[in-house]
Amino acid sequence: MKETEASRTAVLVCQGRAVGDGRLASGRFADPVAAQLLRDDERAEVELARSGKAPSGWRARMRYEMLNATAAVLVTRTVAIDDAVREAGNPQLVLLGAGLDARAWRMPELAAVAVFEVDHPASQGDKRERAEGLEPVPKSLTYVPVDFGRDSLGAALAAAGHDPAAPTTWIWEGVLPYLTSAQVESTLAVVAERSAVGSRLVATYPVHNRVAVLGRRALRVYSRLTGGKDPLEHERHISAWTAEQMDALLAGYGLTVTADRDLHDIVRELSIPARESRFYGLGRVAIADR
């Protein structure tokens, strides 16, 4: 992501949740706030994707298919993460790379929780504009602007009032693919340092997947053909792990993996059409406790 602009990937993710709201994983997933965080043109694309009527024009049809495929991915991992957050029931929640996440406005379980949203200053400025007028659910919601290439995450959290003596649930959703090994290690060092006993890390991560690589290439081609911007232009996938590698990585920071699931298994449990998501690549979700 460029330093001067908000993340376009965050918009695509938010659109995916808005497309899935009320249509996928009924009874397990709902995000009515997602659409409220979108601009008018972004919301119009969501409404077309939700209509179930594929447009005839090839450009509109490609966008329609991409948003529905994205919805399958986002609904799946959102259900897995939300379940883990509820199960932990910790008094603090930190979202690392929050983007346009709507948990602070849609999860009543966070009413007694102190929530900290960590993100790049540009993305966070965009988020705050979009969320203006929305009433958050948590006991407190604190925005923590951090440029991970320059700023100290630990110092920023401390200044924001995060309490390392109280258990924290950390959400690391959709971020790991874009980080170097050094960035992953430095972030985990802060998580470990500020995680009291009872803390939990919930992280989605990519596996080595040639099909998913082709999917990202197709997205770039699609963007050029439609005259639009590739949402991953400045956010390339540079990292992937096996489940064994992730287990060892987290263990090195005092975190014990208690669950690590292939998100395709959850797709089937939720009866989400797998054909919509396999080309995109789902990856895995790891839950690690202290």
How far apart are the C-alpha atoms of 100 and 106, rounded to whole Å? 12
How far apart are the C-alpha atoms of 38 and 47, rounded to whole Å? 11
For the chain, domain boundaries = 8-289
- The pLDDT of residue 116 is 98
Residue 191, token pair as written in the block: 């998580």
Q: Which fold has domain 8-289?
A: Rossmann fold (3.40.50)
Residue 86, token pair as written in the block: 């509820």
- The pLDDT of residue 273 is 78
Residue-wise pLDDT tens digits, 113-169: 999 999 999 999 999 999 999 999 999 999 999 988 789 999 999 999 999 999 999
Strand-pairing partners, residue 169, are 93, 200
What's the rounded mean pLDDT across residues 259-263? Answer: 95
- The pLDDT of residue 234 is 46
The b/e string for 51-90 (b: 16+ C-beta within 10 A; e otherwise) is eeeeeeeeeeebbbebbbbbbbbbbbbbbbbbbbbeebeb
Residues counted in the chain: 290
- The pLDDT of residue 2 is 47
- The pLDDT of residue 267 is 92
Residue 274, token pair as written in the block: 């797998």
User: Which amino acid belongs to residue 154?
Assistant: G
Residue-wise pLDDT tens digits, 67-97: 998 999 999 999 999 999 999 999 999 999 9
Contact, 267 vs 24, CB < 8 A? no
- The pLDDT of residue 3 is 47
pTM: 0.88
- The pLDDT of residue 222 is 56
pLDDT above 70: residue 98: yes
Residue-wise pLDDT tens digits, 16-69: 999 999 999 999 999 999 999 999 999 999 999 999 898 888 888 888 988 998
Q: Which of 284, 285, 263 is nearest to 274 (CA)?
A: 263
- The pLDDT of residue 54 is 86
How far apart are the C-alpha atoms of 194 and 202, rounded to whole Å? 15
- pLDDT top residue among 278 and 262: 262
- The pLDDT of residue 279 is 44
Q: Which residues contact 266 (CB under 8 A, 6 or more apart)?
A: 76, 77, 79, 80, 285
- Contacts made by residues 34-38, CB under 8 angstroms, sequence distance 24+: 34/100, 34/102, 36/134, 37/100, 37/102, 37/127, 37/130, 37/131, 37/134, 38/11, 38/14, 38/130
SS3 of residue 140 by DSSP: strand
Residue-wise pLDDT tens digits, 209-248: 655 544 545 555 555 665 555 455 544 557 789 999 999 9
User: What DSSP string runs through 258-290?
Assistant: EEEEEHHHHHHHTT--GGGTTTT---EEEEEE-
Strand-pairing partners, residue 143, are 117
